[in-house]
Amino acid sequence: MTYDCHYCEQETESAHTITLYDKTGVEDRLEVLCDNCYEEWLLSLRG
């Protein structure tokens, strides 16, 4: 089974599920990222 990466929209077999929050921090949703986008997302969290 493959997933569509939320950022680059490419199919990935090693999906990383992340939780995104809206500006209020209340509502959230699950998104799937590929390896590369997941690494970049982790880096962006650390600033």
Q: Does 15 bind Zn ion (CB under 5 A)?
A: no
User: Looking at 3-11, 20-28, 39-47, which segment touches Zn ion (CB under 5 A)?
Assistant: 3-11
Among positions 3, 7, 18, 41, the unique one binding Zn ion when judged by CB under 5 A: 7
Q: For the chain, where are the alpha helices, taking DSSP H only?
A: 35-46
Which residue, 8 or 20, has its beta carbon nearer to Zn ion?
A: 8
Q: How far apart are CB 32 and Zn ion at their closest, in Å?
A: 9
SS3 annotation, the chain: CCEECCCCCCEECCCEEEEEECCCCCCEEEEEECHHHHHHHHHHHHC
